[in-house]
Amino acid sequence: MNNKPFIIGIAGGSGSGKTFFLNSFLHHFKNDEVTLVSQDDYYFPAGEMTQEENKLYNFDLPSTIDDQQFLFDIRKLINGEVIYKKEYNFNNPLAVTKILEINPAPIIIVEGLFILHFKEIAALLDHRIFVEAEENVALQRRIKRDGMERGYPEDDVLYKWHNHVVPAYKEFLLPYKGSCETIVVNNNDTPEEIIRITEEISADLKKEYCKKD
């Protein structure tokens, strides 16, 4: 194992298929070869909100993220330390909050909407992956996810999409697309294509960074 882990940043807008890409990527590694730290677990607590308050609250701003704690924990992983983090429950009062144990590994994946916008975090990344999809495709995925997983009415999803999600994507993520080494277009939900791309990237990394002493 090299002294310094290799750090991959995976960024993508809502509905881009980033989660599927991420899961496919992780599938190519053993547990002790890779670790994941997600921006979603660094939201500042927003407190309990009514449905209307939740609809109007803009989660798609960098100011909603505790980027300094996020940075601190990434540096701890780089230094070989374990981090413990409360899992974010997306303001669901019925969700059971888990404590995440995130262990250091030869490859660290940092994922989230603003990881390229946060300058100190972006500076730590050795390889940047940008996952994107056409806007209408991404919107349909968002409607399906928020309806099935979080119980949000479609009107609320559309309000957030047009007023929060798209403006944030254009301001805080899209400008950094040109700085990414790998761009993945995921319009068709074709598992074979995503698996092929993740296999190509992971094969080289495993060869270089997951050698056993």
pLDDT at 116 over 60: yes
Q: What is the mean pLDDT of residues 107-121?
A: 97
Is residue 174 situated within a structural domain?
yes
pLDDT at 11 over 80: yes
CA distance 128 to 109: 10
Is residue 14 situated within a structural domain?
yes
pLDDT digits (tens, 9 = 90+) for 48-82: 777 788 778 899 999 999 999 999 999 999 999 99
Instruction: Report pTM.
Output: 0.89
pLDDT digits (tens, 9 = 90+) for 132-150: 999 999 999 999 988 877 7
Does 179 or 88 have the greater pLDDT score? 179
Is residue 184 situated within a structural domain?
yes
Residue 143: which CATH number? 3.40.50.300
| Stretch among 151-160, 161-170, 174-183, 184-193 having the lowest mean pLDDT | 184-193
Which residue segment(s) compose the domain that 109 sits in?
6-209
How many structural domains are present in the chain? 1
pLDDT at 175: 98
1-5, 29-33, 167-171, 201-205: range with highest mean pLDDT: 167-171
pLDDT at 79: 97
Is residue 93 situated within a structural domain?
yes
pLDDT at 156 over 80: yes
Give the CA-trace dihedral at 189, 192, 197, 201, to 10 degrees. 130
Is residue 1 situated within a structural domain?
no
Is residue 108 situated within a structural domain?
yes
